[in-house]
Amino acid sequence: MNRRALEAICQTFAPGSEGVADAVLAAANKHLGPAERRQLSLLLGTFGRGFPLLSPARREAALRAWCDSRIPQRRAVFVALKQAALSFAYMRSESSWARERWEAIGYPGPTGTPADPPPRRIEPLRVERDLELDCDVCVVGSGAGGGVAAAVLAGAGLDVVVLEAGGYWSERDFDGAEDPGYDRLYLAGAAAATDDRGIGLIAGACLGGGTVVNYTTSFRAPDDILEEWAGHGFPSDELGGSLDAVCERIGVNTEHNEPSRRDELLASGLRSLRWHVEETPRNVLGCEQGRLCGSCGLGCPLGAKQSTLVTWLVDAQAAGARIVVDARAQRILVDAGEARGAVARSNGHDLHVRSRAVVVAAGALGTPPLLLRSGIRNENVGRWLRLHPGTPVLGVFDEEVRPWEGTLQALYSDQHRDLEDGYGVKYETVPVLPGFAAAALPWRSAAQHAALMDELAQTTNVGVLLRDRGSGRVTLGRDGSTRIRYRLSDDDLGRVRTGVDGAAQILEAAGARKILSGHSRVVSYEPGRRGDRAGFLRDSDAAGWGPGRCGFFSFHPLGSCRMGASPTNSAANPDGESWEARNLVVADGSTFPTASGVNPMVTIEAIAHLNAGKLAARLN
């Protein structure tokens, strides 16, 4: 690859930054497939011809032209390069440039590992040669779905093997550092996105999956959603017992809701508008609710977050389950219409698991490719992908907010939950560290971006989380790689727009001096001084809402192998079993018939609990 061109690009985004091109190349080599690597190489070849020879001002103009291009692929390239260059520039503690920027911002650096971490609870099975294993049930994935399924099945006396593609990291590794935290714990180092890079896909990819890195918000599926799902043939009337069991095991409570400054500002805005605000139920025990918590997206160093790593997987192991990490399932073995095991690669070795049943819980982005590679052809496999796309509205205050600190999400608002037919948005705020902020903030020039970063300590966010009615699709590319297509429908975008307006109202009511949208162009106003909300919305519309125009993130991929009453409109039956293979059971976020509209972990765990319980009863 043309390193010189990449270096010039990185230096244009963040002049003076150190080691960024090499970090980007290392990440690309690790996380991109062969086709994507070839594309990057071609692109850098194109840039390589003239870009490094341009003056700094002309290089900036060239990047802006890509950002504003009418050609979506160019905007996609801009987004990918911008996010990679700026996040690596700001998150590498070995870079003196990054440390100087942290000091200027007031960010004290990573929290560090705990002095006295709890002992490691899981002892993964080591794979040091090609291996064959026999068991009753092979569980693929160890997140919200897989972790629970493993515990239920092992608890029912079945011999269980868990295959997890990611590594095992525990409290002693959770030092709050973005680098190497994202690389260890997140899908594609947190750089995954839809094919057009319109929506960043943020998902856990380690032992414990999303439950290790998530924000602990623990809502049960609302009754009206369960009623809607019943209409799809989903067994809503059976879920209550599993929801109770899950909330009990992961300790859902509202006793750890000391608000962060972000949450206080959210609540202050909501209360002055007389809008709905409520405490968020959370799955934590002994949570610090302070400095450490802002980095909890990189794992909780206290073990307070009741992820599957400290709950269900521990139960599964105690009941005899064998847990294999760094083991990516490549194919499910299906023989005569029945699941018979899985083939995986682990540490360069072949792993062959023979079993009586397989539970697939590789997440809504991982389950469809695995099923498709295994010859499952139901047309609903990969369809109906929901993302709960979210976009931030930022508020800059005169006071310090320190968005990298405090309880993850202590409060939320459902004021606009139902804008139309049960579809709407939720307002929540998320903790933000410098690397993530640098990638998300608009870049029009190095100086403009640096000025926004200089205000990070005074900046909060209100996340607009959409319950999406439209859907996308997960497919396999010709080279076998995962392709994720998703375009926000106009109908959904209308509700996003209302949500962005609502978030601006909240921030204005809380006293923000400047309010910015998540657009690639800088769209902002200063209440009472420059512009107003109506102009803000007009400028947002002018900047556009399409891919590469406005930044969206998804923390909740769902629905891509949905459960339902018939193979014509679902991928799995009401027991979560594939319509095409007996004892091949889906048990993760992909099972949702439609978007839940609430943060989904508890519901996913309950579905896994229910489906695994039924499978155990059949096998026993």
**Nearest-approach distance from CB 230 to ligand FAD, in angstroms:** 21
* Nearest to ligand FAD of 11, 317 (CB atom): 317
Euclidean distance between CA atoms 213 and 88, whole angstroms: 19
What is the binding site for ligand FAD (CB under 6 A)?
A: 140-146, 163-166, 202-206, 209-211, 213-217, 297, 328-329, 361-364, 366, 370, 555-556, 588-589, 599-601, 604
* Nearest to ligand FAD of 99, 373 (CB atom): 373
**Nearest-approach distance from CB 551 to ligand FAD, in angstroms:** 16
**Nearest-approach distance from CB 289 to ligand FAD, in angstroms:** 15
Return the number of other C-beta atoms located less than 10 Å from residue 162's C-beta. 33
* Nearest to ligand FAD of 1, 342 (CB atom): 342
**Nearest-approach distance from CB 340 to ligand FAD, in angstroms:** 17
Pick from 508, 515, 521, 506: nearest CA to 551: 521
**Nearest-approach distance from CB 313 to ligand FAD, in angstroms:** 11
Torsion of CA 183, 588, 495, 200, to 10 degrees: 20
Which SS3 state, helix, strand or coil, does residue 395 take? strand
What type of residue sits at position 570? Answer: S
**Nearest-approach distance from CB 367 to ligand FAD, in angstroms:** 8
Helix (H) or strand (E) holding 246: helix 239-249
Residue 464: half-sphere exposure toward Cβ, Cα within 13 Å: 29
* Nearest to ligand FAD of 525, 552 (CB atom): 552
**Nearest-approach distance from CB 561 to ligand FAD, in angstroms:** 10
* Nearest to ligand FAD of 365, 453 (CB atom): 365
**Nearest-approach distance from CB 284 to ligand FAD, in angstroms:** 11
* Nearest to ligand FAD of 505, 590 (CB atom): 590
* C-beta separation of 147 from 208 below 8 A: yes
Rounded to whole angstroms, what are the CA distances from 36 to 21, 32, 39, 255, 392? 17, 6, 5, 46, 28
Cβ neighbors of 177 (< 8 A, separation 6 or more) are: 91, 93, 110, 298
Pick from 144, 293, 303: nearest CA to 218: 144
3-state secondary structure 335-356: ECCEEEEEEEEECCEEEEEECC
Pick from 41, 51, 42: nearest CA to 10: 51
Residue nearest to ligand FAD (CB): 143
Cβ neighbors of 451 (< 8 A, separation 6 or more) are: none
Euclidean distance between CA atoms 257 and 266, whole angstroms: 14
Pick from 525, 510, 495, 529: nearest CA to 461: 510
Q: Pick the catalytic residue from 388, 416, 519, 556.
A: 556
* Nearest to ligand FAD of 442, 463 (CB atom): 463
Euclidean distance between CA atoms 156 and 169, whole angstroms: 27
* Nearest to ligand FAD of 269, 557 (CB atom): 557
Q: Is 352 a catalytic residue?
A: no
What type of residue sits at position 274? Answer: R
Question: Strand 131-134 vs strand 338-346: parallel, antiparallel, or unpaired?
Answer: unpaired
Residue carrying the six token digits 């931030």 = 392
Euclidean distance between CA atoms 41 and 451, whole angstroms: 32
Rounded to whole angstroms, what are the CA distances from 389 to 220, 311, 344, 465, 599? 19, 29, 32, 6, 12
* Nearest to ligand FAD of 140, 396 (CB atom): 140
**Nearest-approach distance from CB 138 to ligand FAD, in angstroms:** 10
Query: Which residues have a catalytic role annotated?
Result: 556
